[in-house]
């Protein structure tokens, strides 16, 4: 059995089917993004790939997807059952007694995050002026990448990769809050089906988390459903959330880690995998 963990690139699904065929194996798909909304190629390429993409889903023994929303979307397209399988997370949480007067953003800035990140840069600038505090925004990507997104980098934005996982965890733990900006304009609809993996690192290590995005985004709905941290979907809510989490900070670590363990811990993942294996065993006996 080939268990293929695949993202938005539609070509990878076709390749997985070809590889499984060459190896003489059955295969299952675990979709962490929607390949039918892939924007990494022109319309002609997507049109050519469409029947092959459908065929790759049709030939898969089992299909899993990262969220219930993506499961429903894929199921309607491929006319097969798609099982929600949340991302697993097994890294230990990191705590720190040190506090840096900073917000932290983890990851790159693709089209799903860039415009909303610029909003946060401006919001932090306004907060600094109004409060007189030297708050900074730490962005864990190279300066040249950040400059392509926001232009000239203001003094209160600190770019730079953090290579080691333990160092990244510590930087999150020492920050006032971790931030997740999500595009308000997303023609692909991927924000409504995909779960940002950076949120697992945030839930494991952050004291506070701020989600800035549209109400239909998966991350927004997730945090609202579980009553976690701060969620803002309007400029006024963003200003208010920043004021509250910085002026009167709370420690949400216990709540975050309970949700992380319940929804993304090994036990939750293993339970779904065990059901999958039972299905394989049953099919083999028939």
* Reduced 3-state DSSP string for 119-172: HHHHHHHHHHHHHCCCCEEEECCCHHHHHHHHCCCCCCEEECCCCCHHHHHHHH
Q: How far is it, in rounded angstroms, from Cα 109 to Cα 96?
A: 27
Give ranges for CATH 3.40.50.2000 in the chain. Answer: 100-261
Please state whether beta strands 175-181 and 209-212 pair in parallel, antiparallel, or not at all (unpaired). parallel
Q: What percent of the chain has a predicted confidence (pLDDT) above 90?
A: 79
Mean pLDDT of 52-80: 95
The arrangement of secondary structure in 2-88+265-285, i.e. its CATH architecture, is: 3-Layer(aba) Sandwich (3.40)
- Per DSSP, the three-state class of 28 is strand
Q: What percent of the chain has a predicted confidence (pLDDT) above 70?
A: 94
Per residue in 91-141, pLDDT (tens digit) is 999 999 899 999 999 998 888 899 999 999 999 999 999 999 999 999 999
Q: With CA atoms as reference, report the closest residue to 123 among 181, 78, 192, 52.
A: 181
Q: How far is it, in rounded angstroms, from Cα 8 to Cα 39?
A: 8
Mean pLDDT of 168-180: 97
Does residue 65 contact residue 82 with C-beta atoms inside 8 Å?
Answer: yes
At residue 276, the pLDDT reads 67
Q: Label residue 282 by pLDDT band (50, 70, 90).
A: low
CA dihedral (179, 248, 171, 121) positive or negative: positive
Does residue 106 contact residue 113 with C-beta atoms inside 8 Å?
Answer: no
For residue 154, how many C-alpha atoms fall within 13 Å in the half-sphere facing its CB? 17
Mean pLDDT of 253-276: 88
The CATH topology of domain 100-261 is Rossmann fold (3.40.50)
Per residue in 188-244, pLDDT (tens digit) is 888 999 999 999 999 999 999 999 999 999 999 999 999 997 999 999 999 999 999
**31, pLDDT greater than 70:** yes
């Amino acid at each position: 059995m080939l268990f293929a963990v695949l993202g938005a690139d539609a070509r990878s699904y076709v390749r997985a089917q070809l590889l499984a065929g060459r190896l003489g194996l059955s295969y299952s798909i675990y979709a962490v993004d929607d390949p039918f909304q892939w924007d990494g190629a022109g319309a002609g390429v997507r049109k050519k790939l469409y029947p092959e993409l459908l065929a790759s889903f049709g030939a898969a023994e089992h299909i899993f997807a990262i969220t219930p929303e993506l499961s429903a979307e894929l199921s309607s397209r491929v006319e097969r059952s798609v099982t929600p399988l949340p991302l697993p997370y097994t890294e230990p949480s990191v705590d720190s007694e040190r506090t840096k007067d900073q917000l932290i953003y983890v990851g790159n800035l693709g089209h799903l995050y860039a415009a909303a990140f610029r909003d946060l840069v401006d919001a932090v600038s306004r907060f600094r002026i109004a409060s007189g505090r030297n708050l900074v925004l730490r962005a864990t990507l190279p300066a040249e990448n950040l400059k392509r997104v926001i232009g000239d980098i203001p003094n209160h934005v600190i770019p730079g990769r953090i290579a080691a996982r333990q160092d990244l965890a510590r930087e999150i733990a020492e920050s006032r809050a971790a931030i997740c900006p999500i595009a308000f304009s997303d023609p692909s609809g991927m924000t409504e089906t995909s779960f940002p993996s950076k949120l697992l690192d945030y839930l494991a290590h952050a004291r506070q988390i701020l989600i800035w995005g549209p109400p239909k985004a998966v991350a927004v709905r997730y945090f609202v459903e579980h009553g976690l941290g701060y969620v803002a979907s309007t400029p006024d809510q963003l200003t208010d959330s920043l004021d509250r989490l910085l002026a009167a900070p709370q420690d949400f670590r216990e709540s975050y880690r309970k949700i992380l363990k319940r929804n993304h811990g090994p036990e939750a993942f293993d339970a779904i995998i065990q059901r999958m294996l039972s299905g394989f065993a049953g099919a083999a006996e028939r």
